[in-house]
Amino acid sequence: MISPAYCQTMARYNAWQNGSIFRAADVLSVEARREDRGAFWGSIEATLSHLMWGDLMWVSRFEGVPGPDITIRNSGAAYDWDALMETRPVLDARIAAWARGLSAEDLEGDLSWYSGAMQRDITQPMPLCAVHFFNHQTHHRGQVHAMLTAAGARPDDTDIPFMPEDIPEWR
């Protein structure tokens, strides 16, 4: 289904796009970042907070370590802007390191975890979980990109073929 190279490309893309989104959002006022814009999580900041929570949860599952001690229902308010700005590049570097360390065997078999959202144990194929991880990022960043554009900010292009080679969190 997928390969380590796919995960590495998507981890690089994640770091590039997060850098763009955060630079664009950082020029907005606090009020503009927190304004309810009708997205599922409401605001730019809340959507980015949920995305941080989701990325932390998934990479923790992949690494076999405890994830954030926050429920999905509270994930939109879990991180304020300063925490997001400080932690996002560190998390993106962690995701990149995970992807760089993958072997084909790491993407075989199943992943099992307890889902707080579903209130039960879940087991799914590891390749499906990895694809979901990157798809979830792209989905919510797309929402944020639209909200930023509507607010007058200008994030970078989102096309993978135009991704630059030099992405700090990828090093």
CATH code: domain of residue 86: 1.20.120.450
Mean pLDDT, residues 56-65 taken together: 97
12 within domain boundaries: yes
Is the pLDDT at 170 greater than 70, yes or no?
Answer: no
Residue 163 lies in a domain: no
Q: Is residue 30 one of the residues assigned to a domain?
A: yes
Q: Does residue 167 sit within a domain? A: no
Q: What's this model's pTM, rounded to 2 decimal places? A: 0.94
Please state the domain count of the chain: 1
Residue 164 forms part of a structural domain? no
Alpha-carbon distance 125 to 106, whole Å?
11
Domain span including residue 84: 4-155
**Cα–Cα distance for residue pair 91/79, rounded to 1 Å:** 13
Is 121 inside a domain boundary? yes
In a domain, 136, yes or no: yes
Lowest mean pLDDT among 7-21, 40-54, 65-79: 65-79
- Rounded average pLDDT over 133-155: 97
